[in-house]
Amino acid sequence: MKPYIMLLGVVALILSCIPIPGAVLVYLHSTLLIPGATSALAAPVERKLPPGEEEAKAVLEKSPRHGEYADVKVAGSQQTIRTWVVYPERRDNAPVILVIHEIFGLSDWIRSVADQLAADGLIAVAPDLISGKGPGGGNTDSVASRDDVVKLVRSLTPDEVKERLDAVRAYALALPAANGKIATIGFCWGGATSFAYATLQPGLNAAVAYYGSAPEIPKLAGIRAPILGLYGEDDARVNATIDVTAAEMKKLGKTYDVEIYKGAGHGFLRAQSGRDGANLKASQQAWPRMLAFLRQHTR
């Protein structure tokens, strides 16, 4: 027997008796196999979810997708909206998803959500809705603290939000790679904004609200797009709006699909490591549910 084969047998016996981390196993497998052999274990694994907040920056730095900033002009104004755009790798034109940030502004986490949408075959467009409101006319990244970002987001008027979203929507639909269909998704403050924007913008093909409160009941009549609401079970403040909204949407003959995830809290997609695994489980269920909904309505 060749010494090399004997060595492999010894290594295999050792590996079968000692618990070794998966990353080490992959390394040993790929370096000790007969030259020319390949290992399925060593192949990179494609992410199926956006990362949690703590991993977002690292994931963005390793992304193979093309992402870029665009400065979108607001009609009748000198103001531009700083917007993060990520393109999928596909041959045909793609739907556009307008990603509306949390009350924390255009963060690395929101940009990583956009990146994952692009990985899933969609053009993702994420505007910084407090563009120009930071120090010296800066954007989210010019603001010293998260608390200060929250104050600026809360200072936006409904008219400002609509004007800025309308500008980015028009820009996104004009992208040469777009297929003419557009939907919104939003998180927390952005979830409520995604839902509210659907009452004002008849040109939406769909809207998704991650743990965002519903609009006032009289405003629901303006909705033309189907709505998907994704909620954590332990989020009473937001969830208090679900039943009355669902009843009114049914009465109006409009689509409002609701998913409530057991044990998950507010912000579960960003805080995936929280609540003893409930937030991660909710994320794993909500993301494919959302993708199926978006694909259904933006084909």
Give the tens place of pLDDT for each residue, 189-244.
999 999 999 999 999 999 999 999 999 999 999 999 999 999 999 999 999 999 99
> What is the pLDDT, as a whole number, of residue 4?
39
What pTM does this model have? 0.85
Choose the CATH number for 53-297 among 3.30.980.10, 3.40.50.300, 3.30.450.40, 3.40.50.1820. Answer: 3.40.50.1820
Instruction: Identify the bridge partners of residue 84 per DSSP, sorted by sequence position.
Output: 69, 126
Mean pLDDT in the chain? Answer: 88
Domain boundaries, the chain: 1-43, 53-297
Long-range contact pairs involving 197-202 (C-beta distance under 8 Å, separation at least 24): 197/100, 197/161, 197/162, 197/165, 198/222, 198/223, 198/224, 198/225, 198/227, 199/223, 200/162, 201/162, 201/165, 201/166, 201/169
Lookup result for tokens 């994320």: 283
Helix orientation angle between 3-17 and 22-32, rounded to the nearest 10 degrees = 170
Q: Which residues contact 227 (CB under 8 A, 6 or more apart)?
A: 195, 198, 206, 207, 208, 209, 249, 254, 255, 256, 257
Token pair for residue 99?
């990603």
pLDDT higher at 130 or 27: 130
Return the minimum-mean-pLDDT range out of 19-28, 44-53, 205-214: 19-28
Return the minimum-mean-pLDDT range out of 2-6, 88-92, 95-99, 254-258: 2-6
Q: In whole angstroms, what is the distance from residue 233 CA to residue 201 CA?
A: 29
The CA–CA distances, whole Å, from 99 to 34, 102, 238, 250 equal: 48, 10, 20, 26
